[in-house]
């Protein structure tokens, strides 16, 4: 494991960390949880972290085992990971050509402090298909032939970075609940209400980035 690879994976984790679904969920808990919002939000974050780590470990171990049995599967995984990332960016770009309402993120009726862990785990699992940095990071670990122990440590670090924005939000919300209540409400309104305005410039930028990412295996990775 080179320093450059670790830095690249840390960068992917930082990109993946700004996940509106998890951030808004934690914000809603701090604003509207019926009891012990801090502990409930922390348990929700732990549920999200568990999904990120366990899913990554399962993908790495399964793909590594398959790579040992089937020649060329690492190359195939590379094309799939970067191709899926490129496709996700292109689709996101196409969607920016028109104004579309944001999907509201709300606490489900069954949400309680006792169900915070599965709520965080399920919320993150539902969003994993959109987490293209996550799959690229796992592909990089497989391509580097990282040992199981090293890969799990790297995935644990990825998980910590992924959860940092939510943990910072939790600390800020608990230190000064009254003063930060308006800020938390703005976070909820920003990501869970209104509409995403059409932006041809953003659409073209995302589609160009998608084409760049999707073709990386053809020209940048041997």
Domain spans in the chain, listed from the N-terminal domain onward: 3-219
Q: Which helix (H) or strand (E) holds 176?
A: none
Residues 8-57 have pLDDT tens digits of: 999 999 988 987 778 888 888 887 776 788 888 999 999 999 999 999 99
Rg (C-alpha) for the chain, rounded Å, is 19
Question: In which residue ranges of the chain is pLDDT below 70?
Answer: 34, 66-74, 104-107, 109, 177-185, 187-188, 190-192, 220-222
- β-bridge partners, 195: 101
What are the residues facing 101 on neighbouring strands?
A: 195
Instruction: Supply the pLDDT for residue 44.
Output: 92
Picking from 106, 113, 129, the residue whose alpha carbon sits closest to that of residue 191 is 106
What's residue 27's pLDDT?
82
Q: 């690249």: which residue's tokens?
A: 8
Q: How do the residues of the chain divide into helix, strand and coil, expressed in percent and rounded to 5?
A: 80, 0, 20
- What are the φ and ψ backbone dihedral angles of 10, each rounded to 5 degrees? -60, -40
What pLDDT, in 10s, does the model give residues 91-106? Answer: 888 988 998 887 766 6
- The pLDDT, as a whole number, for residue 34 is 65
CA–CA dist 115, 173 (Å, integer)? 21
Tokens of 103: 């999907």
């Amino acid at each position: 494991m080179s320093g450059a690879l670790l830095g690249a994976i840390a960068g992917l984790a930082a990109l993946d960390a700004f996940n509106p679904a998890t951030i808004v969920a934690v914000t809603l808990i701090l604003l509207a949880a019926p009891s012990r919002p801090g502990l409930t939000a922390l348990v929700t974050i732990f549920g999200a972290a568990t999904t990120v780590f366990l899913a990554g470990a399962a993908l790495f171990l399964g793909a590594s085992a398959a790579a040992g049995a089937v020649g060329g599967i690492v190359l195939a995984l590379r094309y799939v990971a970067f191709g899926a990332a490129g496709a996700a960016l292109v689709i996101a770009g196409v969607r920016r050509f028109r104004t579309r309402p944001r999907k509201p993120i709300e606490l489900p009726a069954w949400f309680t402090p006792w169900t915070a862990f599965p709520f965080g785990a399920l919320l993150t699992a539902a969003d994993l298909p959109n987490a293209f940095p996550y799959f690229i990071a796992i592909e990089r670990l497989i391509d580097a032939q990282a040992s199981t122990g090293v890969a799990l440590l790297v995935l644990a670090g990825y998980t910590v970075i992924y959860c940092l924005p939510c943990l910072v939000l939790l600390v800020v919300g608990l230190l000064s609940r009254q003063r930060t209540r308006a800020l938390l409400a703005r976070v909820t309104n920003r990501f869970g209400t209104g509409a995403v305005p059409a932006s041809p410039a953003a659409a073209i930028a995302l589609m160009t980035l998608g084409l760049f990412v999707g073709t990386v295996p053809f020209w940048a990775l041997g």
